[in-house]
């Protein structure tokens, strides 16, 4: 059974239904009725004017935002374990035209005001060193930790003081919000976020992600960059329809709650093995190679994450028997 | 009724079925069972070893190929009306890192050996001028004309002599083949093509295109470039499944034949108005503004294409009543 | 004797003296006393606040300006024969990160308001086509024609209306001004020019060019781009000293006048053979291959420029006997 | 008195003489007699076939080499304190089109086989992570330490095993060789170096640096990249002449020996304060702020280098009285 990533989970039935329902002739690109509803839908959801850009990958969402927020000759601050640094094949360098990632340390892939300030202070303010232009955080982090609204706001304030734009990789933003129950606006634009990559694929979507832009004056540039990078699909309605389906009746939140609940079930099976507190839908466990092998023999599929450590990721569709079986197997190790 | 482009047509029912059938847990990215079948399926189809890369847009297919075939400091020869020049927002410059398009003239957006040779001859062979590295043609062309296998082979031979790689934008390759009944291999790799963007979205697909690579030694580089440009979807199975559905029982050819037949129906309604011979699924007509208005009043949707000229594009799903009605309306102008 | 280009002429003795005089310890990069005088010197010369950036090539001057004036996803309008298109190995694409050059026609490499307007009008204002962001002209043109202040102002007005930045490649700006006696300010910033590449190497310099920026808010960005492209020399004083020497007592104008006078001498030798009126220091002549051979046998070195056409370029140091000898040889053809 | 950097030292008298001697008409760009001698001169010096490219900055030399050795989608391993990472404004990202620098730790800015191997091992060999393509070291390092031929060879062997190209930033290569008396060939191509940035500006040059290429099959590409980045000066003879003057009678080695001797004089004044052993021409001293102030009051100019640490760099022209005075001042602290 798959626990290696939520990014391979099935699409939610309502998403499939929405795709089928969108299978009619309409305008091309993002001129269709579904795509045209997105700006309004997200502006309502966030409670502020926002511009929404569907894309098909988190990498595209992240890097379109970063390209607009950081010129080629400046730098983006991010955690050393951030997805944009570790798992996007250098896409930020490609999209920005050569901007640099300056890497921050921090437990659980979390960025703190201290690490940001220290990184800025280390950079001499002259023409020889690459000056920072943006800060990017991931929420929930790559280790499943969740930034509270207050934490984001503190970082946002610092970013502003330092002249940095502020981006959030929200591949698992739904899980973060489901964890804290906090308000979407508080965790994003009210906390100073300029653009957020709002993940849907890991949360019931089929292949639609969405980049939400609060600095709406950058919308035209991003629209061009999306086209120019090959991310303006001609039948955009099939992407927009997925997103709208997930927004309806807060299905995105329900899905995230289910995934988080599944992670809690696993966490509770062996609290003493937890590498990080389980806040969202990722569970990192201290497990020996032999123990990991045993779990695999029982049919569970997951990644090793450094020596003596494994990663389990749950998704919206995981509950009931197989999940309980894994919990039991972990408890029995 | 839509005649503005085949790129907004509905997906074929079998494509939708295939997507639903692929809605199960599998490996992520292109590790799934569907994606893993693509190389074999296209190698069989083309009768030679090929590597297939699903993407979601023709722009991505074209530009990944061009980036691998042309270094940043060299040039790509293409027609002045080529999609890569006119309608991709400068994507070739972005993907290649600044390579130049050298524009060729020619009726009906067709490239000839003479224009290619003349363009090469005009470039001084020194360090000051950008030397050509690749030739790109579109088949069927942006004006619906079709290259015969022999024509492609002549260009291919010239490309080889001049040290040029050879790319084919096959957004409507299916329509081209349906028009001539020629062999896929003859029109592509046997004629010297190194990589072809094989269009499916305009031909019954939902959002899957495929770049087919014959210079397989470039496959690793292209795989990285696909990831790096944000085009490696995590649930690739939904793309691969679409493509496999269209390959099955030559559905792609059937769809193209249907679209071409629809175009012929329109062309025959007013042969004296044709700007170009109708070979594939595009019909360009000399029509006055008043006449165009009249067609629009009757509910037909299409693009103006320069003064006194309109473009009608047909697709796999267009036949029977509404098509006949448009034909009659054109005849009646 | 060299008539193939002014870019291989010797340095003026005062330039060499200035280099020797600058051979003392000072601050590095552009922190030295010579470099620090440049902004003031050019602000005085132009009669407005300007920022001056020494570089070592016209390509660097042009492309640093263009990179600041045109984002990667937009286009620069220029003449088809412009140096940035024809002779800089694609440097604009490299420096801008993939911006496109849109090529204009026009006799003598001259850009007209009509060609600019028509080029803009041809570009659909949507996300699929690359929108123009800048206009670049060369003064004197690649064929030695000179824009009058009024002509530049008309283009500048149009550029403003169309939302275009305006760059002047002034590799031979000195020759242009020497030809008309017009005012430097009138031909540049008062006419709407945002940045000018002010050529010195072809006009008595050793290896110093200067980019003059009137949109001073872009200065910081250009300073970074200069460093980032490897154009911030550590001993900048040797460049600044050359430029200051050429500015002193209007040596740059005297040099240009001498070069122009030499060109006139040649032009008057065979007015019936002139391809273009001779305004600056370039002479294009209709000359058969046999005639060209005869001139070469007599020791004159120049380029063929298309069939039956040769180019002669004069420089600050050419006068007296050898020049008269060439004039006589041309007259005698 | 200047001890802040050798990059602001005067040019050697023979360099100035050579420039004046080159002030005659010749071919443009690198077609002149001086430039044409460079390949031969360096092939002789290194005892193997080499191609030499003059440029005007170390940044250009480094980044032209790196752009040819590392594609845009791969990474360059270098020390965290390497000049290419710290002091070139992101030029490697610009020249390569977005390649990544992977940073290595190590005392004195020295790269070891262990850090290289560990960095490679940390990178998962898949499409999500940026794969390394090149290794770059600086010799002498940014802290004045010198790699022995054997050390370079060990790194070179490892690079080969790992499929990495191997670049040496030799801004102070002369000082390194002067320190060890080792053979130039042994420290470079025989040890696996593919390209070396051979510094002259810090060692008596005026504004000429040279990139030496041993993988001669890359020469054409680099020639184009040099032009395209604005580094092909039209009067190249003035650069080549400087380099030839410094090669004559091993003036480059004599200059480096003089600079190293000066550094030793300073080092011996306060051996107990040395942060690193003094091998080349850089002296890092533990000195309190008050002590540093005292030195500055006496007229010595240098950089602070972290808290309680200063950097003194000596150059070819420093000896005799002022140097002795600084040594005495240090000893007296």
Which pLDDT tens digit goes with each residue over B247-284? Answer: 999 999 999 999 999 999 999 999 999 999 999 999 99
Q: Does C124 contact chain B (CB < 8 Å)?
A: no
C-alpha C328/C-alpha C322 separation (Å) is: 10
Of A19, A28, A229, the CB nearest to B5: A28
With 80 as the cut, is the pLDDT of residue A253 above it?
yes
CB A213 within 8 A of CB A195: yes
Rounded Cα–Cα distance for residues B266 and B262 (Å): 7
E-assigned strand segments in D139-270: 165-170, 195-198, 209-213
Task: Tell me which residue in A73, A93, A96 faces D89 most closely, judged by beta carbons.
Answer: A73
Q: Residue range A242-246: average pLDDT? A: 98
Query: In this structure, are strands C195-198 and C209-213 parallel, antiparallel, or unpaired?
Result: antiparallel
The answer on pLDDT for D229 being more than 80 is yes
Per-residue confidence at A230, pLDDT binned at 50, 70, 90? very high
Using a CB-CB cut-off of 8 Å, the residues of chain A touching C232 are 127
Report d(CA A112, CA A99) in Å as an integer. Answer: 22
The percentage of chain B sitting over the pLDDT mark of 70, rounded to a whole number, equals: 100
Beta bridge partners of C51: C213
Over range D6-20, report the average pLDDT. 95
For residue D2, the 8-state DSSP code is: B
pLDDT(A258) > 90: yes
B127 at the C interface (CB within 8 A)?
yes
pLDDT, residue C116, reads 98
Using CA coordinates, name the residue in chain A closest to D96: A98
The whole-number average pLDDT for the span B12-28 is: 93
pLDDT above 80: residue D25? no
- Candidate from D72, D98, D224 with C-beta closest to B73: D224
Question: B88: which chain C residues are within 8 Å (Cβ-Cβ)?
Answer: 128
Taking only the tens place, the pLDDT of each residue in A300-327 is 999 999 889 999 999 999 988 889 999 9
pLDDT digits (tens, 9 = 90+) for D132-169: 999 999 999 999 999 999 999 999 999 999 999 999 99
Query: Is the CB of B90 less than 8 angstroms away from the CB of C75?
Result: yes
User: Which own/partner pairs from B288-291 qualify as long-range (CB within 8 Å, at least 24 positions apart)?
Assistant: B291/B333
| Encoded tokens for B277 | 């011979």
Q: How large is the average pLDDT for residues D104-131?
A: 97
Per-residue confidence (pLDDT) for residue D321, from 0 to 100: 87
| Cβ within 8 Å of residue B272, ≥6 positions away | none
A88 contact residues in D (CB cutoff 8 A) = 128
Average pLDDT, chain D: 97
Please report which confidence band the pLDDT of residue C126 belongs to, taking 50, 70 and 90 as the band edges.
very high
CB atoms within 10 A of CB C289: 11
Compute the nearest-CA separation of A85 from chain C (Å). 21
How confident is residue D68, by pLDDT bands cut at 50, 70 and 90?
A: very high
Residues of D in contact with A58 (CB under 8 A): none
In this prediction, residue B111 has a pLDDT band, given cuts at 50, 70 and 90, of very high
Read off the pLDDT band of B110 (50, 70, 90).
very high
pLDDT of residue C205: 98
| Cβ distance of B100 and C87 shorter than 8 Å | no
Give percent above pLDDT 90 in chain C.
Answer: 96
Residue D148 is predicted with a pLDDT of 98
The answer to whether the Cβ–Cβ distance between D227 and B128 falls below 8 Å is yes
Mean pLDDT over all residues of chain B? 97
The reply to whether B124 touches chain D by the CB within 8 Å rule is no
The strands making up B51-55's β-sheet, listed across from edge to edge, are B51-55, B209-213, B195-198, B165-170, B132-138, B75-79, B100-104
Q: Assess whether pLDDT exceeds 80 at residue C25.
A: no
Q: Is A94 an interface residue toward C (CB < 8 Å)?
A: no
Q: Quote the minimal CA–CA distance from C202 to chain D in Å.
A: 9
Segment A25-54, tens digit of pLDDT: 789 999 999 999 999 999 999 999 999 999
Q: Name every chain A residue with its beta carbon within 8 A of the beta carbon of C27.
A: none
- How far is residue C309's CA from residue C284's CA, in Å, rounded to a whole number? 7
Report chain D's terminal Cα–Cα distance, integer Å.
18
Q: Tell me, what DSSP letter sits at residue D189?
A: G
d(CA D54, CA D207): 10
* pLDDT exceeds cutoff 80 at A57: yes
Kindly provide the b/e burial profile for residues A254-281, where b requires at least 16 CB atoms within 10 angstroms of the residue's own CB: bbbbbbbbbbbbbbebbeebebbebbbb
CA distance D116 to chain A (A): 18
Q: With a cut of 80, say whether residue A240 has pLDDT above it.
A: yes
Give the count of Cβ contacts less than 8 A between chain A and D. 60
As a whole number of Å, the CA-based R_g of chain B is: 20
User: Is residue B73 within 8 Å of B98, Cβ to Cβ?
Assistant: yes
With beta carbons under 8 A apart, name residues in chain A contacting D75: 90
Which subunits count as partners of chain B given 3+ CB pairs below 8 Å? A, C, D
Kindly indicate the confidence band of residue A296, based on its pLDDT and cuts at 50, 70 and 90: very high
Question: What phi and psi, each to the nearest 5 degrees, are found at residue A51?
Answer: -115, 135
Cβ distance D89 to C227 less than 8 Å, yes or no, reads yes
Q: Which two tokens stand for residue A213?
A: 């832009």
Residues 36-65 of chain D whose Cβ lies under 8 A from any Cβ of chain C: 55-57, 59-60, 63
Mean pLDDT of B321-327: 93
**Cβ atoms of D189 and D46 closer than 8 Å:** yes
CA distance D114 to C296: 63
- Residue B296 sits at the chain D interface (C-beta within 8 Å): no
Closest residue of chain C to D234, computed from CA coordinates: C7
* DSSP class of B163: T
Instruction: Among C30, C31, C64, C224, pick the best mutation site for testing chain A contact (most A Cβ within 10 A).
Output: C224
For residue B155, the distance in angstroms to the closest alpha carbon of chain D comes to 26
- Pairing status of strand B132-138 against strand B195-198: unpaired
CB D194 within 8 A of CB D223: no
Give me the residues paired with residue B52 across strands: B212
Average pLDDT over residues C178-195: 98
Question: In this predicted structure, what is the pLDDT of residue C98?
Answer: 96
For residue A8, give the nearest of B28, B94, B207 by CB distance. B28
**Which residue is associated with the tokens 């023709």?**
B58
* The pLDDT of residue B121: 97
Q: What are residue A260's phi and psi, to 5 degrees?
A: -65, -40
Q: pLDDT at position D24, please?
A: 84
HEC profile for chain C? CECCCHHHCCCCHHHHHHHHHCCCCCCCECCCHHHHHHHHHHHHHHCCCCEEEEECCHHHHHHHHHHHHCCCCCEEEEECCCHHHHCCCCHHHHHHCCCEEEEECCHHHCCCHHHHHHHHHHCCCCCCCCCEEEEEEECCCCCCCCCCHHHHHHHHHHHHHCCCEEEEEECCHHHHHHHHCCCHHHHCHHHCCCEEEECCHHHCCCCCEEEEECCHHHHHHHHHHHHHCCCCCCECHHHHHHHHHHHHHHHHHHHHHHHHHHHHHHHHHCHHHECCCCCCCEEEEECCHHHHHHHHHCCCECEECCCCEEEEECCCCCCCHHHHHHHHHHHCC
- Alpha-carbon gap, residue D278 to A252, rounded angstroms: 62
Distance (Å) from the alpha carbon of B3 to chain D's nearest alpha carbon: 40
Element (H, E) at B103: strand B100-104
Spatial separation of the C-alpha atoms in residues B100 and C180, rounded to whole Å: 36
Pairing of strands C165-170, C132-138: parallel
Q: Select the residue from D127, D133, D229 to test the B interface by mutation, using most B Cβ atoms within 10 A.
A: D127
Res A276 pLDDT > 80: yes
Strand partners, D2: D301
- Through-space distance between the first and last CA atoms of chain C, rounded to whole angstroms: 18
**H runs (alpha helix) in D33-90:** 33-46, 58-69, 83-86
- Give the Cβ contact number of residue D114 at 10 Å: 11
| Integer Cα distance of A111 and A82 in angstroms | 10
Tens digits of residue pLDDT in C251-271:
999 999 999 999 999 999 999
User: How confident is the model at residue B173, as a pLDDT?
Assistant: 98
Cβ of B23 within 8 Å of Cβ of A9? The answer is no
Averaged over C236-258, what is the pLDDT? 98
- As to burial, measured by CB atoms within 10 angstroms (0-12 exposed, 13-18 middle, 19+ buried), residue B319 is middle
Over residues C202-221, the mean pLDDT reads 98
């Amino acid at each position: 059974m798959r626990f290696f990533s939520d990014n391979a989970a099935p699409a939610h039935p309502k998403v499939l239904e929405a795709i089928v329902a969108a299978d009619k002739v309409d305008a091309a690109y993002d001129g269709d009725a579904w795509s045209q509803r997105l700006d309004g839908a997200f502006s309502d959801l966030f409670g502020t004017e926002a511009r929404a850009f569907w894309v098909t990958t988190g990498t595209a969402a992240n890097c379109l935002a970063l390209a607009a927020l950081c010129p080629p000759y400046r730098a983006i601050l991010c955690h050393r374990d951030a997805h944009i640094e570790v798992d996007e094949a250098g896409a930020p360098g490609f999209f920005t035209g050569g901007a640099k990632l300056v890497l921050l340390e921090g437990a659980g892939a979390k960025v703190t005001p201290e690490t940001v300030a220290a990184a800025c202070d280390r950079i001499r303010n002259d023409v020889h060193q690459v000056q920072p232009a943006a800060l990017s955080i991931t929420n929930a982090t790559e280790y499943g930790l969740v930034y509270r609204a207050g934490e984001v706001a503190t970082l946002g304030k610092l970013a502003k003081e330092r002249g940095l734009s502020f981006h959030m990789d929200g591949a698992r933003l739904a899980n973060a919000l489901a964890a804290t129950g906090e308000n979407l606006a508080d965790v994003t634009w009210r906390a100073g976020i300029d653009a957020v990559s709002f993940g849907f694929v890991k949360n019931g979507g089929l292949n639609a992600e969405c980049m939400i832009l609060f600095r709406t004056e950058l919308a035209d540039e991003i629209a061009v960059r999306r086209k120019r990078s090959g991310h303006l699909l001609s039948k955009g309605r099939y992407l927009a329809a997925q997103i709208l389906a997930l927004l309806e009746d807060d299905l995105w939140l329900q899905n995230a709650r289910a995934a988080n609940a599944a992670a809690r079930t696993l966490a509770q099976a062996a609290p003493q093995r937890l590498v990080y507190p389980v806040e969202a839908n990722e569970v990192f466990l201290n497990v020996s190679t032999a123990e990991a092998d045993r779990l695999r023999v029982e049919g569970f599929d997951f990644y090793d994450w450094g020596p003596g450590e494994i990663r389990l990721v749950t998704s919206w569709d995981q509950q009931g028997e197989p999940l309980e079986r894994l919990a039991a197997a972990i408890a029995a190790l």
